[in-house]
Chains A and B, each alone.
Chain A
């Protein structure tokens, strides 16, 4: 199979999805009205509520939702062959993620720009909102731990990524300082920042750095995890303008540059996919394709995290209601595009089937590292880029995605802990230092506990559990949209079918993973799995109750 053909099939599916399915949703389901006064106009304050051009809004919506997950998920999932991963990404993007992201944006716009959490309380009920908070906390806990372990692993596998990854922090702070304190033109700051970033990538490829094998009995992965969480803890209390904002900005810029470089390289190199469509020789211990595929690839097919972004910030800036189609639906298409690039890099970036099989020796052997090596091979063929520079470039691209998500994730977790402290009258938890320490401590506990005998190396073991939590969140959002549609007397099958599918797959996956963790005697993960399983059952029961009640109300004409 030719990689360009695969890429084109994906793009055609996304294009058809946008032109036909999203139009159907706009006209028949959401009934978008150009005259509707959006919250950006109704509450315009120049701060949170600002009407924004759709292209710009799409740009930062996409940059906010794109992360390391649409790369890591497909990079693991191609172990079952390229076809299942590709089908789930394309079908998922067109019929699941598209509806979910677009629907969350539309529902939020129709509810005064409220977030999914607030809408859950208003539309479904207070109990559903409490479940929502639990799921969010679990998701943040897992995303921070998983991404720390992934970055640690990548720093060890590609030591040349160390210098550029940490130089970016200095570059970001310099940008923040120059923009806010010196009033320097953003164009020059951007040019200088991007030049320094790519210069650092070259320097990194010449001077790779590694940590000692052991320090106080801790291996390199554990050392990196501690360093990363120390950094994330400090970063989460720094002013937003100094680090988070410029870091997100530079990350957004390099996302577009990275995607352009990767797709251009695929077109020039014209590689052949060496992996089988369906892998008949999956390594021992690989879980079954159904249902694990559907939780292994969350971002890139459907991810609950997108609903938070769509309803949290994007909905407050939508100029006209019909723009939700471009911003919401095309936001998920952007994510799907990233996932397809990852599938191609992981299946066509190797010289032979034997070489590919040599990388996928176990379910947890795939991941970011395979994407980096496969992608670097394609860059070398297309642009004669040295493998060292290519690997560093792609590793840094993926690490920056993961790191910016971690930065924001630890900060959000701190807010949640402070809120728990306020709501339950526990003053000690409301302080910035204690709440940050609790957030970082919880993540460290999971990051170390997941690895079992090798602390800090168990990221991919909990990856499907992270995917399941993400799908649960998506399920909650789809439930809110479905109830809202039913209350408006509109057909809700477009959201109820994905909701049912996700819940069934999530529940079966959790039971299967419970068995795996039991075999490994990993009691921490058994406990976590049971908590997520409990939350899933609550979500499923709440969804059934809420949908039934909404239908009864609609029938009574309430």
Chain B
């Protein structure tokens, strides 16, 4: 009973804004992605040294990003996910 109520409230809270929140999240992810790969577009980024070890964790997201941006393959020579 209580679980059902929580579920109804959750749906009532989330459903109207699912799309808007997902888009906002995607924008943040894109920004993060750009930050990680900024050196490749000529923007010096001191963080890249510290975030290098995170790259394997981002492969899936990176792949989804370049597909969404209309590029069939990775635009970066050193980062080929597919």
Contact = CB atoms under 8 A, between A and B. Distances in A.
Interface stretch (A148-156, A198-206, A237-245, A453-461): A237-245
B17 interface: yes
A271 B2 CA distance: 38
Contacts of A46: 18
B12 A56 contact: yes
Interface stretch (B3-11, B49-57, B60-68): B3-11
Interface stretch (A179-187, A326-334, A349-357): A179-187
B18 A186 contact: no
B6 to A, nearest CB: 5
Interface in B1-44: 2, 5-6, 8-13, 15-22, 24
Contact of B18 (A47, A59, A246, A249): A47
Nearest to B21: A241
A53 B74 CA distance: 41
Contacts of A244: 17, 20
B21 to A, nearest CB: 5
A357 B6 CA distance: 48
Contact of B6 (A53, A63, A187, A252): A187
Nearest to B19: A48
Given A241-B17, A241-B21, A185 B6 contact: yes
B31 to A, nearest CB: 13
B11 A56 contact: yes
Nearest to A55: B8
Contacts of B20: 240, 244-245
Q: Is chain B's binding surface mostly helix, strand, loop or mixed? A: helix
A52 interface: yes
B15 A317 contact: yes
Q: Is chain A's binding surface mostly helix, strand, loop or mixed? A: helix
Nearest to B6: A187
B12 A60 contact: yes
Contacts of A47: 18-19, 22
Nearest to B28: A239
Contacts of A50: 15, 18
A interface, how many residues as a size bin? Answer: 20 to 34
B12 A59 contact: yes
Nearest to B22: A47
Nearest to A56: B11
Query: Which among B13, B15, B22 has the highest number of chain A CB atoms within 10 Å?
Result: B13
Contacts of A64: 16
Contacts of B9: 186-187, 190
A240 B17 contact: yes
Interface string A47-81: 11010110011011001100000000000000000
B12 A245 contact: no
A506 B9 CA distance: 40
B13 to A, nearest CB: 5
A270 interface: no
A313 interface: yes
Contacts of B13: 179, 186, 245-246, 249
A248 interface: yes
Contacts of B17: 240-241, 244-245, 248
Contacts of B12: 56, 59-60, 63, 249, 252
Contact of B16 (A179, A190, A239, A248): A248
B19 A241 contact: no
Given A56-B12, A179-B13, A186-B13, A48 B18 contact: yes
A186 B15 CA distance: 14
Nearest to B2: A187
A509 B12 CA distance: 39
B81 to A, nearest CB: 22
A244 B11 CA distance: 16
A56 B8 contact: yes
A185 to B, nearest CB: 7
Contacts of A179: 13
A52 B11 contact: yes
Nearest to A250: B13
A240 B24 contact: yes
B22 A313 contact: no
Contacts of B11: 52-53, 56
A412 to B, nearest CB: 12
Interface string A93-131: 000000000000000000000000000000000000000
Contacts of B8: 56
Given A47-B22, A241-B21, A60 B10 contact: no
Interface string A292-331: 0000000000000000000001000100000000000000
Interface in A6-58: 46-48, 50, 52-53, 56-57
Interface of A: 46-48, 50, 52-53, 56-57, 59-60, 63-64, 179, 185-187, 190, 239-241, 244-246, 248-249, 252, 313, 317
19 contacts: A50-B15, A50-B18, A52-B15, A53-B11, A56-B12, A56-B15, A57-B15, A59-B12, A60-B12, A63-B16, A186-B13, A187-B6, A240-B17, A240-B21, A241-B17, A245-B13, A245-B20, A248-B16, A252-B12
Interface of B: 2, 5-6, 8-13, 15-22, 24
The list of the 7 closest CB pairs from A to B, nearest first, reads: A48-B19, A245-B17, A47-B22, A240-B20, A186-B9, A56-B11, A249-B13
